Amino acid sequence: MLLMSGSVRRAKKMKLSEEDTELFYKLHPALLFYTNQQKGIAKDVTTIEDFMELPIEEKIKVREILYKHPKLIDSFVRRNPFNFSQEELEIVKSWKNFLKDEFYLFRYLKKYAIFLDDNSPQKAYGVLALKSDFQDIARPWLPVFLKAVLLPFKDQIIYDGVLIPYPVSFGPGIRHDLKEAYQEAKARFGIITSFPWGKKEESDVERLKSYLSSEAMRDKYWKEIEELIEKDSTLLAVYHQELGKVHARTFGRRLSKIGLRGAWFDTGRRDSRGWQHESRS
């Protein structure tokens, strides 16, 4: 089953702006049409409109050829057959940094959806939808394992309008493993939100916070936690602060079970007034 972005409903969350989405649909079909012209894949296609009327399967064939021959992007930019502006050509040129892979559509955040790759080490990408919300074009439950092509667009990451999901579902064991993989990816690399991406690892503070984020992560990375604190003793304050949050949440859940709500717990944090900040359960 091929999922192609096409709904014209207003953006809710995690989407490219309407203006930039229109720009994408101006540039990307032109590049695919040019690819078809150069490689002669679909016959009797003389305009972009003709190309867009092709069956999805035919457009997918052209798309595959483009990513197999990325020099077509250079050729398109050099010839500029549609008289695009320099800014528009720069966007097309940036697509040489595409990422074609298998991903887990793992989580919906406020700013973007998380695509977790299946490589080693795993990395997490913050991806924006186009015209359709990800919730509308993918299954309503997560994670979804799929094939996709991620593209840079200005200082953001989008996909190229096509998602190809695998018809599989995941039990609690796999979902737990993916959650750990996501936490580890965030600890090592952060959430990648632009291309090209350099192997810039997160700061020690962010890594420590990720290692402390769950009991499973603390058990798995106890040695790394010790090494970070030994290397920089100031991280001990971060350590106690994060564990304070964990204990506050734990006690809050326990008291909620016995009917005590609205309690406050000291997390050990200091606010701008220099005293301790409290957290409601």
Q: Which residue, 179, 202, 225, sits at the end of a domain? A: 202
One domain, residues 115 and 85: yes
One domain, residues 139 and 251: no
pLDDT given for residue 281 in this prediction = 42
Q: Which of 3-12, 130-139, 176-185 has the lowest mean pLDDT?
A: 3-12
Q: Which residue, 154, 187, 202, sits at the end of a domain? A: 202
pLDDT per position as a tens digit, 242-280? 777 766 665 455 545 555 444 343 434 444 444 344 344
One domain, residues 151 and 240: no
Domain count of the fold of the chain: 2
Tell me the whole-structure pTM to 2 decimals: 0.72
pLDDT per position as a tens digit, 120-137? 889 999 999 999 999 888
pLDDT given for residue 211 in this prediction = 79
One domain, residues 151 and 249: no
One domain, residues 143 and 68: yes
Range of the domain at 97: 1-202
One domain, residues 197 and 225: no
One domain, residues 130 and 225: no
One domain, residues 194 and 215: no
One domain, residues 116 and 192: yes
Q: Which residue, 184, 202, 220, sits at the end of a domain? A: 202
One domain, residues 136 and 29: yes
DSSP assignment of the chain, as one string? --EE----SPP-SSB--HHHHHHHHHHHHHHHHHHHHHH--SSS--SHHHHHTS-HHHHHHHHHHHHH-THHHHHHHHH-TT---HHHHHHHHHGGG-EEEEEEEEEE-SS-EEEEESSSS--EEEEBB-SS-HHHHS-SSS-EEEEEEEEEETTEEEEEEEEEE-S----HHHHHHHHHHHHHHHHHH-EE-SSS----PPPHHHHHHHHTSSHHHHHHTHHHHHHHHHH-TTHHHHHHHHHHHHHHHHHHHHHHHTT--S-EEEEEEE-TTSSEEEEE-
One domain, residues 192 and 230: no
One domain, residues 125 and 58: yes
